[in-house]
Chains A and B, each alone.
Chain A
Amino acid sequence: MFVPFTINLFADLQQIFQYQFMQHAFEAGTVVAIVAGIIGYLVVLRRSSFAAHALSEIGFAGAAGTVLLGINPVFGLLGFTTVGGIGVALLGKRATDRDIEIGSILAFALGLGVLFISLYSGYATEAYSILFGEILGISTGGVIITLAVSLIILAVAALVYRPLLFSSLDEEVAEAKGMNITLLGIIFMVLMAAAVSIAIQVVGVLLIFALMVTPAATAIRLSKKPIYAITISVLIALFATWVGLFISFYEPYPVSFFVVSIVFILYLVVRFIRPM
């Protein structure tokens, strides 16, 4: 397949959307970017970026295991990251203080993933797409699963928005006010686990920061109001995903490379103009 890029963007998009795999990639990518942008804000606010990365790598074992069983890897991702997320939530109030425990678990999970993937005959390609994302290969079923998981994440996030934001900002006072900090911590970790699982489809296990952390970290520098920062975070994630998909249609390089690069450049620029 070779389609030349023209200056007429509209014509280009029409061209791109003639391909079903590109339609699916845009659908899933859009939904994932919205979810990752929103949950990412809470990840950054709670300083849980290491936990996000850890859950992602724990997900690798799940994905590799389900591939071995011949099931859609997203189910393995959801299962492993959710159990891992609840575990991290129960470990301690602030996940950042638990980096040794979390690090040890994630190394074990990665090792398990390597074993599963080596038992599978399609070794190299499967490992590659889990680690670095394979959004161009997402099926209709995959899009529907992604959409369903996203709607659940968004509904739960909307419901717990205020208690979660307050307890992330001032946990001690929230606890004294009678809020259930442990339960909120578990809800947050499960939300993060689900968001990580669907985001892995786009950027892969190793590049999860690109959607779950960097857009929100950029946005937090640009607005002091949570709702604006969340909106900016979503817009950055969407922009990077769309542009990444668009370029990768014309260039033979991985989508995740473009997504990561766009997000990183924006982060650098904002860091430069808005040092905190």
Chain B
Amino acid sequence: MGTQSDVVIAEHLTVGYTRQKPVWQDANFSVSRGEFVAVIGPNGAGKTTMFRLLLGLQQPISGTIKVFGEKPNRGNPRIGYVPQHHTIDNETNIECVELVRLAFSGNKWGFNLSSKEEKKIAFDTLASVGATELATKSLGSLSGGELQRVFLAEALVSSPEMLLLDEPLANLDIKRTKDLVGVINDVVTSRKVTAFLVAHDINPLIQFLDKVIYIANGKVATGTPEEVLTSKRLSALYGTRVEVLRDSRDNIVVVGAEDHHGD
């Protein structure tokens, strides 16, 4: 397993806080450059843990993970990250372009008050995610969907080769979800970045995905959406009988996974 174009390779990967009670174990997968990957699974399954591992914020209990051919290293400039939780709230009265600018140069000492070049980079990045009109707006005044665009620009401003997006679609309505997924997919194809996106609902993403990492019941299943999202694969993953149903427009529903009362 693993070829030249693979940017992430995981082998027999087990993670958690103690060896006795791992969050999930024995995961094997590889992701190639430019792939759009969804990380799916129930609450508390360890989806964010996957990101912490890729970011080098947490070490595996056993097995190996390689990102760009190396052990994950905290502060890797080749990775852009949008966390699920942010310090920013509706009282943060700072304009968006400042945040994007700081994401570009915030790790440098000293101050650089009026760098035209930095400002241009920040504006251009906002423009590339369709957020030009948000640049001078206050972070605290934005809607959920607008904020996610700014966070995407924040992650992209340092031109990363890989994006980790933790639940960017949470709390968005159907239209905004569709818009944002469209923007993310444009970024993935135009910049040839590899994107991992944590989501609860796979349906808005499914047509764009190259791969799915499905985490449940302490185990990890990976493959193309067609391979993973079958009754057989998911029943094996959950260790109980679940069914994958499809509607007339190819939306899928996993039945029996989160409700075990009928067992």
Contacts and interface: CB of A to CB of B under 8 A. Distances in A.
Interface string B123-150: 0000000000000101010000000000
Interface in B47-99: 55, 57, 74-77, 79, 81-83, 85-88, 90-95, 98-99
Contacts of B248: none
Nearest to B90: A276
B167 to A, nearest CB: 13
A267 to B, nearest CB: 15
A173 B140 contact: no
B113 A227 contact: yes
B108 interface: yes
Contacts of B108: 162-163
Given A172-B86, A276-B93, A179 B107 contact: yes
Main secondary structure of the interface of A (DSSP, over half): helix
Contacts of B79: 176
B19 to A, nearest CB: 26
B99 A170 contact: yes
B44 interface: no
Contacts of B105: 162
A90 B85 CA distance: 21
Contacts of B112: 162
Instruction: Identify the interface centre among A159, A163, A227: most chain B CB within 10 Å of its CB.
Output: A163
A178 B91 CA distance: 27
Contact of A163 (B77, B87, B109): B109
A179 B87 CA distance: 16
A269 interface: no
A166 B102 contact: yes
A160 B168 CA distance: 30
B161 interface: no
Interface of B: 55, 57, 74-77, 79, 81-83, 85-88, 90-95, 98-99, 102-103, 105-113, 136, 138, 140, 154-155
Interface of A: 45, 94, 158-163, 165-179, 220-221, 224-227, 229, 276
Given A171-B87, A177-B103, 8 more contacts: A94-B87, A166-B106, A166-B107, A170-B88, A176-B55, A177-B81, A229-B93, A276-B140
21 contacts: A45-B94, A94-B87, A159-B110, A162-B102, A162-B106, A162-B107, A162-B108, A166-B103, A169-B87, A169-B102, A170-B86, A170-B102, A172-B81, A174-B106, A177-B77, A178-B76, A220-B93, A224-B94, A225-B94, A225-B98, A276-B91
